[in-house]
Amino acid sequence: MTVVIGIPASGEHETRSPINGDVVKKLAALGVRVLIQRGATDASFATPESLGDVDWAETSTEVIARADIVWSIGNLSAADQAALRPGQLLMGLLTPYASAEHVTALAATGVTAFAMELLPRISRAQSMDILSSQGAASGYECVLIAASRTPKFFPMLTYAAGTIRPARVLVIGAGVAGLQAIATAKRLGSVVHGYDVRPETREQVESLGAKFVNTGVSAAGSGGYARELTTEEKEQQAQALAKAVAESDVLITTAAVPGKKAPVIVTRAMVEAMRPGSVVVDMAAEGGGNVEGTVAGKEMLVGGARVIGPVNLPARMPVHTSEMFAKNLLNFTSPMIADGVLSIDWSDDVIVGTALTHGGALVHAGVAKVLGVPVAPLEPVSVSTEEEASA
């Protein structure tokens, strides 16, 4: 029996697809066939010729029915999700913390769902880390948005009558996205400052040629993420950041806490104190925003500054983000396939840590705690193939 990975079309506003020609070839070497809904890769510019030897389906319904494993960028449509069968595998960005209703409905299908947002932040899993690969693209795009909206040059410019000073850019958050934003802003010639509540990031910020803003607040957390600050720490942080924000021409914020609303780090008063023409790009807009006054998907005027809340940033550059997404999923999936046979090792911390639903229940304790719903012990069930399901 041949393992089939199915690729249904993504949502209306999604340009990425979780497959490309190189990954198709590597899957073939593992004994895997790829089934793609026609049109699913058009927006990512992956043509049938570039994809090579794959099978095609006319509808997402056909893809779901024939696939053993479903790869998706985000959540499936309600109809496609309802069509998932017990033992089938689903992998992608599944917004596990969205709502109890969402997770309960997914679990009810019996599907074994792996939410890539839950991937453990350990060295062995770095090649599978979709959040990091897509975050790098988001950080890059934030700087391009800022550069296109600011009324100033980013680099220092010398001309016949004198010299133009470079723009001052402040990046808040020194995760993958923030560091990419710092590196990109530096390449464009601006004077860059970086800030993160995790003091261990200072060396990374400075290694990229930026200056670190020291507020005296440390929020080092577990799993590579920052913990939530106390009220007193937030006040101390705000006082120290206010001066740095006011002196900046461009502010880019990238801070997020898994399973929680994005922390508000920059107040409206801080933005109003920025110089007229300043630009703020809030990468956390979809999670509520790091900046007071951010509206997801819109550009707002706060004082004399433009506050931009972009959404789905990785979809702005779908060729490379699709390539990265596909390789991440390949690296996560390939250990489950040996000699063309699908077999899940439930002793693997990466697999267990990423599993969201299994055997008809929610199995991720962290998600269960955030949503306030029961969690079931992880008990392996058989994984059905297309042939078994239709027998």
Indicate if 339 belongs to the active site: no
Structure tokens of 178? 């923030």
CA distance 269 to 49: 54
CA distance 106 to 87: 12
Indicate if 42 belongs to the active site: no
DSSP 124: G
Q: Of 187, 218, 225, 227, which one is the catalytic site residue? A: 225
Q: Which of 307, 269, 268, 261 is nearest to 286 (CA)?
A: 261
CA Rg value for the chain = 23
Q: Of 66, 85, 121, 275, which one is the catalytic site residue? A: 121
Indicate if 38 belongs to the active site: no
Pinpoint the alpha helices (H) of the chain: 21-29, 48-51, 60-66, 78-82, 100-108, 130-149, 176-187, 202-207, 231-246, 268-272, 318-333, 349-354, 365-371, 386-390
Q: Of 68, 80, 129, 196, which one is the catalytic site residue? A: 129
Indicate if 248 belongs to the active site: no
Angle between helix 176-187 and 130-149 (nearest 10): 40
User: Which amino acid makes up residue 184?
Assistant: T
Residues 257, 288 contacting (CB under 8 angstroms): no
First to last CA, the chain: 13
Q: Of 50, 99, 126, 239, which one is the catalytic site residue? A: 126
DSSP 81: H
Q: What is the DSSP string of 271-300?
A: HHTSPTT-EEEETTGGGT-SBTT--TT-EE
Burial per residue of 308-340, b for 16 or more beta-carbon CB atoms within 10 angstroms, e otherwise: bbbebbbbbbbeebbbbbbbbbbbbbeebbeee
Q: Of 37, 72, 88, 132, which one is the catalytic site residue? A: 132
Residues 186, 208 contacting (CB under 8 angstroms): yes
Indicate if 168 belongs to the active site: no
DSSP 151: S
Active-site annotation, residues: 121, 126, 129, 132, 225
